């Protein structure tokens, strides 16, 4: 039974091919149940390497099943066919990925980059807060929906943090992701803290959003590593960036893992404060509106209760008036 037939049995009408790899492909489809187009990632177990099947795929499926955030691609359903193919039905992001967006439209103005990067950072914070690390953050894995909102995707290298019996977090040793986005400790093969690795990748992503190019030349990995460890970043003079913007990039691309920003420090950085404050103000407005509405409901209930009491009193008075005298 081919993929179209399998999908049809589950209520999906297969569409065009969106992407294809060595042992997985992504097709668009229409869901009768959801009444919308979706993306279906199809993984063929027969063509997949043992390490992927035993370690990475089970992790990805388990993590996708629990993720629920507005800036992360939504997973609707995961099922498997009798032929050993895994089907992951996800939200379809029609505007492509962030790298395609930058290539077609060029580097972003600082205000636009700030808005989109804030969405990326909130998605990463959500993951880190529930002890999930992505380990493959890059522009190609950040998608855009119809309204150009950020949707973090591809959790193929993601994992849950593991702690020992003393509660101490165990370091990762697997090289994950792309060299251009990899932190110095990862490139050197040093056991690393995956949350801190994610932060480095965020720094590379923000630089690309603003300049349309990598912060480091990745054609020579050893040379790139030396430059990274010197904490040297060449900000092209062709574009003016605020000092706050340069500061957050420098602090995310900090080779010293003990001095690199955490995701909370990123979201609290002065460069992102306009958006953080706007979010806080909206939350306060929503809370005030909710409280006002609740107060109105209470007031209405009290007025209705008083009205009912008056009716009862009037009814009682009428009964007493009509009562026969003895």
**What's the CA angle centered on 176, arms 173 and 181, to 5 degrees?**
120
φ, ψ at 221 (rounded to 5°): -60, -40
For 223, how many CA atoms within 13 A lie in the half-sphere containing its CB?
A: 5
pLDDT at 60 over 90: yes
Tell me what pLDDT residue 312 has.
74
136 among known catalytic residues = yes
Q: How confident is the model over 121-168, as pLDDT tens digits?
A: 999 999 999 999 999 999 999 999 999 999 999 999 999 998 888 888
254 SS3 class: coil
pTM: 0.83
Determine contact, residues 77/12, Cβ cutoff 8 Å: no
Nearest to 158 by CA among 128, 116, 117, 203: 128
Q: Is the dihedral of CA 113, 116, 117, 118 positive or negative?
A: positive
Determine contact, residues 183/259, Cβ cutoff 8 Å: no
Instruction: Tell whether residue 47 is among the known ligand binding residues.
Output: no
Q: How confident is the model over 220-269, as pLDDT tens digits?
A: 999 999 999 999 999 999 899 999 999 999 999 999 999 999 999 999 99
Nearest to 255 by CA among 182, 158, 176: 182
Whether 280 is in a domain gets the answer no
Whether 292 is in a domain gets the answer no
Q: Are residues 107 and 202 in the same domain?
A: yes
Q: Are residues 69 and 50 in the same domain?
A: yes
Confidence of residue 281 (pLDDT cuts 50, 70, 90): low
Least confidently predicted of 42-56, 152-166, 201-215, 269-283: 269-283
pLDDT at 31 over 70: yes
CATH number reported for the structural domain that contains residue 22 in this entry:
3.30.200.20
The arithmetic mean of pLDDT across residues 42-63, rounded, is: 94
Q: Are residues 106 and 226 in the same domain?
A: yes
Total domain count, the chain: 2
The domain containing residue 106 runs over which residues? 98-268
Residue 263 vs residues 126, 178, 286: alpha-carbon distances, Å: 10, 21, 26
Q: Are residues 206 and 143 in the same domain?
A: yes
Q: Are residues 118 and 136 in the same domain?
A: yes
Q: How confident is the model over 297-325, as pLDDT tens digits?
A: 676 667 777 767 776 777 777 666 665 55
CATH number reported for the structural domain that contains residue 139 in this entry:
1.10.510.10
Tell me what pLDDT residue 316 has.
73
Tell me what pLDDT residue 136 has.
97
Q: Are residues 248 and 121 in the same domain?
A: yes
Of the residues 3, 97, 136, 198, only one is catalytic, namely 136
Q: Are residues 76 and 132 in the same domain?
A: no
Give CA torsion, residues 239, 240, 244, 246, to 10 deg: 30
> Among residues 216, 235, 268, which one ends one of the domains?
268
Whether 61 is in a domain gets the answer yes
Tell me what pLDDT residue 147 has.
96
Tell me what pLDDT residue 145 has.
96
How far is 225 from 233, CA to CA, in rounded Å?
A: 12
Tell me what pLDDT residue 49 has.
92
Share of the chain above pLDDT 90, in %: 76
Q: Are residues 18 and 105 in the same domain?
A: no
Q: Are residues 162 and 187 in the same domain?
A: yes
């Amino acid at each position: 039974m081919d993929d179209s037939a399998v999908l049809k049995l589950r209520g999906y009408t297969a569409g065009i091919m969106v992407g294809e790899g060595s042992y997985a492909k992504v097709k668009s489809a229409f869901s009768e149940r959801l009444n919308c187009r979706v993306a279906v990632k199809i993984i063929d177990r027969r063509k997949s390497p043992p390490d992927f099947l035993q370690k990475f795929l089970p992790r990805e499926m388990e993590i996708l099943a629990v993720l629920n955030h507005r800036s992360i691609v939504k997973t609707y359903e995961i099922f498997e066919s009798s032929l050993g193919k895994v089907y992951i039905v996800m939200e379809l992001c029609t505007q492509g990925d962030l790298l395609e967006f930058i290539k077609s439209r060029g580097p972003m103005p600082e205000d636009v980059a700030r808005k989109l990067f804030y969405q990326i950072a909130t998605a990463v914070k959500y993951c880190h807060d529930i002890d999930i690390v992505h380990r493959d953050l890059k522009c190609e894995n950040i998608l855009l929906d119809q309204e150009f909102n950020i949707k973090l995707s591809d959790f193929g290298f993601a994992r849950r943090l593991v702690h020992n019996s003393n509660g101490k977090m165990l370091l990762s040793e697997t090289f994950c992701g792309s060299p251009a986005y990899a932190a110095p400790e990862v490139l050197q093969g040093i056991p690393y803290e995956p949350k801190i690795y994610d932060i480095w990748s965020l720094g590379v992503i923000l630089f690309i959003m603003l300049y349309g190019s990598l912060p480091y030349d990745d054609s020579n990995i050893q040379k790139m590593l030396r430059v990274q460890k010197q904490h040297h970043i060449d900000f092209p003079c062709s574009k003016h960036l605020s000092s706050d913007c340069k500061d957050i990039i420098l602090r995310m691309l900090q080779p010293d893992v003990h001095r690199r920003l955490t995701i909370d420090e990123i979201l609290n950085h002065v460069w992102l404060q306009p958006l953080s404050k706007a979010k806080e103000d909206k939350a306060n407005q929503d809370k005030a509106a909710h409280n006002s509405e609740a107060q109105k409901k209470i007031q209405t209930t009290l007025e209705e209760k008083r009205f009912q009491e008056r009716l009862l009193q009037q009814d009682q008075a009428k009964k007493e008036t009509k009562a026969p005298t003895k």
